[in-house]
Structure 1
Amino acid sequence: MGELVEIGVQGMSCGSCVARVEKALGSLPGVESAQVNLATQKAALRSENGVDLTGVVSALEEAGYKAHSDEVKVPIGGMSCGSCVSRIEKSLKELPGVTGVSVNLASQKGTVWFLPNVVSIARIHRAIEEAGYQAQGIAHDDSSEKPDDAGIHLRNQVVIAALLTFPVVIIAMGKMLPLLDALFTSVMPHRGWMAVEWILTTPVVFYAGARFYRAGAAELKHLNPGMNSLVMIGVSAAYLYSVAALLVPDFFPVGTAESYFEAAAVIVTLILLGRYFEHIAKGRTSEAIKKLLQLQSKMAHVLRNEQIVDISADELVAGDLILVRPGERIPVDGVVVEGESYVDESMISGEPMPVRKLTKAEVIGGTINKNGALTYRATRVGSDTLLSKIIRMVESAQSEKPPIQQLADKIAGIFVPIVMLIAAATFVAWLVMGPEPALSFAFVTTVSVLLIACPCAMGLATPTAIMVATGRGAEMGVLLRKGAALETLARMDTIVLDKTGTLTKGRPELTDFVVLKGQEAEVLGWVAAVEGQSEHPIAEAIVRAAHERGLTVPTASQVKAMPGYGISAEVDGHKLSIGADRYMSLLGIDLNDTLNQREALAGQAKSPLYAAVDGHLTAIIAVADPVKEEAVEAIRSLRTKGLNITMLTGDNSGTANAIARQVGIEHVLAEVLPDQKADEIKRLQNECRRVVFVGDGINDSPALAQADVGIAMGTGTDIAIEVGDVVLMRGDLNGINDAIALSRRTRRTILTNFAWAYGYNVALIPVAAGVLYPITGFLLSPVLAAAAMSISSVFVLTNSLRLRRFQPSFSKKHLGAN
């Protein structure tokens, strides 16, 4: 697979920017693939032998963009001379992702510039420690607490542009309204007011709009025009035309020496305002990641040298004993060694009910301890915790491009040059065939075409929907390891379900205990005493049932096991014999009267056992791997979605068909060996079916990989995280319905976004070019074109944000129950 590195990219605004960055990074030596996401402003690079980050930064700068870097100042203790400075700088510069280092001996501080997606502040501190010095004061790499500098700067530009643009618009209106015109001309002539417009518009264009010029110039320099090029050309045309009309009016044909300063100023202001709204909306699309980051605990109470000390969670190591008090968040993953409590794991699994934790129970970092104190031993810390893996997985899914987005990026890459040709053709057509003043008409229509065609909405249509959907899925306990799975899952027509651990609970349970003689509690206690001497899973189920019912289990003696038959022992002065029908026959016990019950149990996929006390048949016992409570409802819901459902299992056909009847599945493939499951999936695919395989995520890896979409029924285990395209953390079958419903909603949202983005351009470019003018006299002004372009992007973003309100079926069920 190679190494995967993510780098933030600054300055991208549309699909053509994405194509240009991908081209620049993909051409670097050693880079196998480069995928760029407009919504996350990140580039994901895959390389077999590592990525030259210096080359990446240079390539981005040459393409007109910047690698997103952060700056941190670190107080350093232990420095005494210049060689200390050089040693620390060398140690830090060797870290992948560090782009610059400056260590000052006098101030005892180091300034480090680094790529936050590649290296963390904690790693920088550790490098200083490894060099033999002290990084004084641990800084936490918590992106959720960093000020939004880009947003603040953009907001300030919008405010300045708006304050300067407002009087320009008032002055421009004065030319069109007789009363205002008389008022303005009483103060100074028109040309004087044009000069005022010039003075006010210049900082709007060249300060507030400087970003368009920087990015647009870089686009044109590389012969790859994009949105910024369109804005730059359109605004410059309006501005320069107006300056020329003010300074050399005699150069223009009669009636064409008009100013369009208000158009230039309003265009910049409106597009900046649209960018600001986009920035806010993009921030909301990544709220799921921010919430997950906030789950990471900052501090931990650790038992060291027989004392409880508070340390940073970053300093925890595997094996540490950690105390968690009621109401506190669990810092890292581990196993309980002392205490009892209930833990709220809803933020990880999506399951609303707290989970009881006893000794030897696993706890997950980021979850909340409810009502009891727990002491547990850390097993996974830092980037190895389940929460860290989930965060990486969600980020990876958000940055991955589904096929529909790859197509959109290609279209956006050729769209802008085509628009520029259309704009040039529009200018020539109006200049040659338009009414007088033809130059004014040609100018207005050309600028309108350039502005209205900006492909921002196209570039945002898919990534924003994927970001919101993957984040919402994570909150529900539906983790998407691949963003493409969202699109693919929506088009599936066949679901293949594994039996054990998927449709069933995955462990045997006592389902029936029919007492023929004596008291049920007493007999079950005797049976549990005998079975407690066995390690068989069926025996464990019987003992577990006795404990769950609060029974006192006596002590068994003279235990004798007969493999393949059963077990016998002495309990409270009675001889008990427990086993299958063949064991009862061996003991000479007649089972004819129980034949009907035995057949009924077998028909329900239950394994019947018998207990004899002092040579007399006393109880009929049934143990089975029971079907999950939600199975029938979940299968019914999948059917209503038009899906073909098949059960695939290695179990015998009798048991498999019995389970299938219980849950409502008609198609059964039984007695299939684990290594043959993938072949069965392939056979269905050869029948032109699009197949989802749902397994327990542990022993179904080949089938999960072969299926078009693999869904792993996880229960919060790290094993389940590593397999399948989708992981259902709560192990609930309703999660399949939620995943499919979310994928279908997401696909509809993406298609709606594309319909709007492309439909908007196709419909309005001709209008901007003036095709309606000969019929209706209507001509779209550049100001309206800029507003329409901004509205298009905001529509796509807000439409994607609606996915945040998606409600899973299990939530509705629990809400209804309460």
Structure 2
Amino acid sequence: MNEQVTFQKINLEIEGMTCAACSARIEKVIGKMAGVHEIAVNLPLGRAALVLDASTELKGKIIERMEQLGYSARSFEEASDSRQSIVGLGTKLVISALLTLPLLWAMVRHYTITSGIWIPDLFLEPWFQLLLATPVQFVIGAPFYFNAWKAVKSKSANMDVLIVLSTTCAYLYSHYMTMHMLRSGGADPHAVYYETSAMIITVVLLGKWLEASAKERSMKTVHQLRRLSPQTVTVIRNEKQTETISIKDVCIGDSLLILTGEVVPADGRVIRGRSNVDEAFITGESVPVEKRQYDRLIGGSVNRDETITMQVTALGPQTALGKMIRLMEDAQASKTEIGRYVDRIAAVFVPAVLMLALLTLCMWSLWLTPGDFKGALFKAIAVLVIACPCALGLATPTSILVGTSRALESGILFKEGKYVEQLQQIDIILMDKTGTLTHGTPRVTDIITDSGQEHRLLRMLAAAENGIEHPYAKAIMKEAARRGFQVKETSSSQALTGLGVTARVDKHEIHIGSRAFMSQTEISTQKFSQVAEQLERQGKTILFAAVDGVPAGVIALMDTLKSSTPQAIRRLKKMGIVVAMVTGDHRKTANAIADKAGITAIYAEMQPQDKVHLVRMLQQKGRRVAMVGDGVNDAPALAAADIGIAVGTGSEIAKDAADVNLLHSDLGGVADAMVMSRKTMRNIRQNLLFALMYNVLAIPLAFMGLMTPWIAGTAMALSSVSVVANASRLQKASWRN
């Protein structure tokens, strides 16, 4: 018997990564460790998402191995405040810029066109330039040396290696010339290039600061979610006494007092009181929801009207808010297939650049301009700097980061970044009917049975459905309550997913369900088939009932179409996507609903396994299939589809099985998610095109000596900034097509 393998997911914050070569190196080394099944390193976020054997204690070993590679790692929960790191980076940038500015001012003497600009004599002194450049090179630039040394020790090469090699060459050459001039008593400002090393470090810092600021803006949605939970709560002790305590001291089962205007601190249920609760930030529903006794409360929602008492059922990561934050972080830390392909390119890019720089130095100093070592050296430095693959490494993860954050603001939660890439490939969407196309709150419209038996039948059916979590069961229970019936409890009810319910009530065996259910239990539906067909043509759902194996009647239920459904279907069709409805209802009912929704492809009388078979059949024909659903019976098809999309009002099982969760019930979110996916992938392709074109065009210019090192450094930094800026456009993108 094979032992079942269980997995655990962990997130680590990584410091010290500077380019795509770093993330690729970490993935390659850590991915080979025993017990590590998956690893995805996100460069812009500085984070790694890992899937490990749950039976092993790998976390400490992984952190130790990362430190051996030259990076510091820690649990994501222990990570430092990003705002603090941005402020620190900004301070370094300002100091570096102030020290570099006089060097840039003096640099104008290098060019004929600007040689007439007045320059203070002090700025032209080589010893003064040495005084300014040294702290930039070795104090502000110390992290570059530190990271480069760790990279070399781990037998890898990254952006820091390129930065250190290029700036050190420029600094040491200028230092040598300065010492020579001091000994000879001369001073030639044209002989030193301190501005090159200082400018490269300053510009790289500028790029890092802009990237960090863009990341912080993109993470604002997650930060807002984290701030939704209050730090203190009012707990009720001994039924009467109240006490204010920290949210960290709250336990499951505690009773909390939620005053008007306060935020619900955890998931739970109402045990006393009645109030309207605003769940807009969690579910996207703008209208407050009335909450009564036993109703569910979501942590992060706001109590608008009256004071209520709640009992805590989930805390921290186990709450709906906690799960949403974790899924959002996983989505931003995960990688797309195109991102992994780029990382494979970047992994060999830095060694190739080093070889190209060496070739440039040799060709110019030995062949093209023999004897001009200074000119050859600075051409090689320009190649080192300009060819850094920073923009290439940022192209994909930055767009995923911004796109998924923007999607969450619109009520769309992608569980992993790869689903953003896969969704735009979908060409057919299968949609469940009840709760997806419709509101999912059907009401009983007709009870057809033998004369004088209507009340008796409804009581028995309500007892059979008591405790069943299906919309049809709730509708029957609600109808019985509306008529003032006392519903009996029974422990013998058994629900068959997608078919019906069997139960024993007052020593009678009750069956209620679809035609297929009755056929499976060998109960005839002939007696009520004619009236059932008439009701189905009106768009009503029919449930057949039998008592002790004898047909007893039919229950007709009506579920209204969501107002957003027809427009959402039109938008999807406009995008060239085939939309089909899959439902367990009879074809006549399905046709009536589909006609109102604007859907022509209909798959009716589908049981859960039939939906899975349909998904796989379409996939075998080469179709890329998405499934949209909300119920337990949709979960298998959601998992089998290329992309599963769960509607916000659906069951937890459906949400767990899906790849994308809509936090609201508006079906327009499906079309929004599709537009978001397409725009994000278009943005990624733009970034990659820009990054590759930049290297293809810039490297030959540097090789030919048409680009000085400081200009190469500026271009390199601006290329990264341009990629980040282009990705940031997604923050203001409209998902309406």
Task: Quickly name the TM-score band, shorter chain normalised.
Answer: 0.7 to 0.9
Q: In structure 2, give the amino acid aligned to 1:287.
A: K
The one-letter code of the counterpart of 1:57 is I
| Alignment CA distance shift 1:499-1:193 (3 Å) | same
Paired AA for residue 789 in structure 1 = M
Counterpart AA for 1:164: L
Q: Is residue 47 from structure 1 mapped to residue 18 from structure 2 by the alignment?
A: no
Of residues 622, 626, 646 in structure 2, which corresponds to 1:692? 626
* Deviation for aligned residue 1:14: 0.8
Matching of residues 411-490 of structure 1 within 5 Å: 411-435=345-369, 438-490=372-424
Q: Does the 8 A contact of 1:528 with 1:543 survive in 2?
A: no
Structure 1 residue 541: Cα displacement: 4.3
Identify the match of residue 212 of structure 1 among 127, 141, 144.
144
- Structure 1 residue 434: deviation in Å? 3.6
In structure 2, relative to structure 1, the CA distance for the partners of 1:710 and 1:179 (3 Å cut) is closer
1:165 paired residue number: 100
Q: Is residue 73 of structure 2 the alignment partner of residue 154 of structure 1?
A: no
Structure 1 pair 608–755 and aligned structure 2 pair: CA distance change class (3 A): closer
SS of the equivalent of 1:412 reads: helix
* TM-score, scaled to structure 2: 0.84
| 1:264 counterpart (160, 178, 197) | 197
Contact 2:585 2:605 in 1 (8 A): yes
Shift of 1:802: 2.0
- Which residue number in structure 2 is paired with residue 804 of structure 1? 731
Match of 1:631 in 2: 565
Deviations 1:288-338 (A, max 9, x none): 211110011212111111212111122222222211111100011111122
Judged with a 3 Å threshold, the aligned counterparts in structure 2 of structure 1 residues 47 and 543 are, in CA distance, closer, same or farther, namely closer
User: How far apart are the structure 2 equivalents of 1:703 and 1:692?
Assistant: 9
The reply on whether 1:276 has 2:204 as its aligned counterpart is no
Please name the residue that 1:509 is paired with. Answer: 443
Give unpaired runs (5+ residues) of structure 1.
69-114, 121-140, 514-526, 567-579, 586-590, 610-619, 774-778, 813-818
In structure 2, distance between residues paired with 1:661 and 1:182: 77
TM-score (norm 1): 0.76
Q: Specify whether residues 261 and 602 from structure 1 end up closer, same or farther in structure 2 by C-alpha distance, changes over 3 A only.
A: same
**Which residue pairs with 1:130 in the alignment?**
none
Q: Give secondary structure in 1 for the equivalent of 2:103.
A: helix
CA separation of 1:564 and 1:766: change in aligned 2, threshold 3 A: same
Inter-CA distance 399–656: structure 2 relative to 1 (3 Å threshold):
same
Deviation, structure 1 residue 67: 1.6
Give the secondary structure class of the aligned counterpart of 1:647: strand
1:230 lines up with 2:157 in the alignment? no
**Distance across 2 between alignment mates of 1:565 and 1:195:** 97
Contact 2:424 2:677 in 1 (8 A): yes
| SS of residue paired to 1:722 | helix
CA positional deviation for 1:273: 1.4
Report the counterpart of residue 503 of structure 2 in structure 1.
Answer: none
Distance in 1 (alpha carbons) for counterparts of 2:559 and 2:310: 31
CA contact (8 A) 1:604 1:659 kept: no
Summarize the Cα distance change of 1:508–1:642 in structure 2 as closer, same or farther, 3 Å threshold: same
Q: Does the alignment pair 1:63 with 2:87? A: no
Candidates 286, 308, 316, aligned match of 1:382: 316
CA 1:13 to 1:401, structure 2 compared with 1: closer, same or farther past 3 Å? Answer: same
Q: Decide whether aligned partners of structure 1 residues 653 and 196 sit closer, same or farther in structure 2, where only a CA change above 3 A counts.
A: same
**Residues 1:22 and 2:27 aligned together:** yes
**1:70-219 equivalences in 2 (<5 Å):** 115-117=75-77, 146=81, 148-174=83-109, 193-219=125-151
1:697-708 equivalences under 5 Å are 697-708=631-642
Distance in 2 (alpha carbons) for counterparts of 1:532 and 1:360: 23
CA distance in 2, matches of 1:373, 1:600: 49
Note if contact 1:16-1:413 (Cα within 8 Å) is conserved in structure 2.
Answer: yes
Distance in 1 (alpha carbons) for counterparts of 2:58 and 2:84 = 28
The 1:486/1:538 distance shift into structure 2, 3 A limit, reads closer
Tell me which amino acid in the other structure corresponds to 2:711.
Answer: L
- Equivalent of 1:781, from 680, 688, 708? 708
Match of 2:231 in 1: 298
Q: Decide whether aligned partners of structure 1 residues 769 and 541 sit closer, same or farther in structure 2, where only a CA change above 3 A counts.
A: same
Work out whether residues 256 and 440 of structure 1, in 8 Å CA contact, stay in contact via their aligned partners in 2: no
How far 1:491 moved relative to its partner? 1.1
Alpha-carbon distance, 1:34 to partner: 2.4
Segment of structure 1 superposing worse, 419-428 or 446-455: 419-428
Aligned length in residues: 677
Cα deviation 1:471-513 (Å, max 9, x = unaligned)? 2222222111121100100111111112222222334225699
The alpha-carbon deviation at position 365 of structure 1 amounts to 0.5
Q: CA deviation at 1:542?
A: 7.8
Residues 210-269 of structure 1 show CA distances to partners (whole Å, capped at 9, x for unaligned) of: 111111222233332111111111111111111222234799xxx998211111111111
Q: CA deviation at 1:546?
A: 11
1:9 offset after TM fit, Å? 0.8
Partners of 1:16 and 1:60 lie apart in 2 by 14
Q: Which amino acid aligns with 1:197?
A: Q
1:37 aligns with 2:38: no
CA contact (8 A) 2:636 2:657 kept: no
From 269, 275, 278, give the equivalent of 1:335.
269
1:433 CA drift (Å): 4.3
SS of equivalent residue, structure 2 residue 633: coil
Deviation at 1:153, TM superposition (A): 2.5
1:529 is displaced (CA, Å) by: 12
2:606 aligned with 1:672: yes
Which of structures 1 and 2 has the bigger CA Rg?
1
Displacement of 1:174: 4.5
1:349 aligns with 2:283: yes
Query: What is the distance in 2 between the residues matched to 1:56 and 1:564?
Result: 58
Whether the 8 Å contact between 1:674 and 1:700 is mirrored in structure 2 is yes
How many angstroms apart in 1 are the aligned matches of 2:189 and 2:372? Answer: 8
With over 3 angstroms needed to count, the CA separation of the structure-2 counterparts of 1:4 and 1:178, relative to structure 1, is: closer
User: 1:202–1:359: structure 2 CA closer, same or farther, 3 Å change rule?
Assistant: same
Q: Deviations over 1:29-84 (max 9, x none)?
A: 4323322111221122322133433322322222111124xxxxxxxxxxxxxxxx
Partners of 1:697 and 1:540 lie apart in 2 by: 14
Change (3 A) 1:159 1:680: same
Q: Aligned AA for 1:309?
A: E
1:452-484 residue CA offsets vs partner (Å, 9 max, x unmatched): 111111111111221222222222221111211
2:105 alignment partner AA: I
Structure 1 vs Structure 2: percent identity of aligned residues? Answer: 37
Partner of 1:401: 335
Letter in 1 for 2:71: Y
Amino acid at match of 2:728: L
Q: Distance in 2 between matches of 1:556 and 1:19?
A: 66
1:288 corresponds in structure 2 to: 221
1:5·1:51 contact (CA, 8 Å) conserved in 2? no
Contact 1:653/1:670 (<8 A) preserved: yes
Alignment partners' CA distance in 1, 2:473 and 2:417: 44
- After superposition, the Cα gap between the structure-2 partners of 1:607 and 1:203, relative to the gap in structure 1 and judged at 3 Å, is closer
Q: Deviations over 1:662-705 (max 9, x none)?
A: 21222222223212321211110111111111121522222112
What amino acid is the match of 2:708?
S
Q: Retained in 2: the 8 A contact 1:3–1:50?
A: no
**Separation in 1 of the partners of 2:334 and 2:641?**
19
Q: Given the superposition, is the C-alpha separation of residues 150 and 721 from structure 1 closer, same or farther in structure 2, using an over 3 Å criterion?
A: same
User: Compared with structure 1, are the counterparts of its residues 432 and 691 closer, same or farther at alpha carbon in structure 2 (3 Å cutoff)?
Assistant: same
Aligned-partner SS, 1:311: strand
Q: 2:175 aligns with which of 230, 243, 246?
A: 243
Letter in 2 for 1:31: V
Q: CA deviation at 1:604?
A: 3.0
- Closer/same/farther in 2, CA of residues 554 and 677 from structure 1, 3 Å limit: closer
State the alpha-carbon separation in 2 of the partners of residues 555 and 262 from structure 1: 88
Letter in 2 for 1:233: L
In structure 2, distance between residues paired with 1:179 and 1:707:
64
The Cα shift of 1:565 comes to 12
The answer to whether the 8 Å contact 2:252/2:315 transfers is yes
1:726 matched residue in structure 2: 660
Tell me the CA shift for residue 373 of structure 1: 1.5
Query: Cα gap change, 1:562/1:42 in structure 2, threshold over 3 Å: closer, same or farther?
Result: closer
CA distance 1:676–1:27, shift in 2 (3 Å): same
Deviation at 1:540, TM superposition (A): 6.5
The equivalent residue for 1:793 is 720
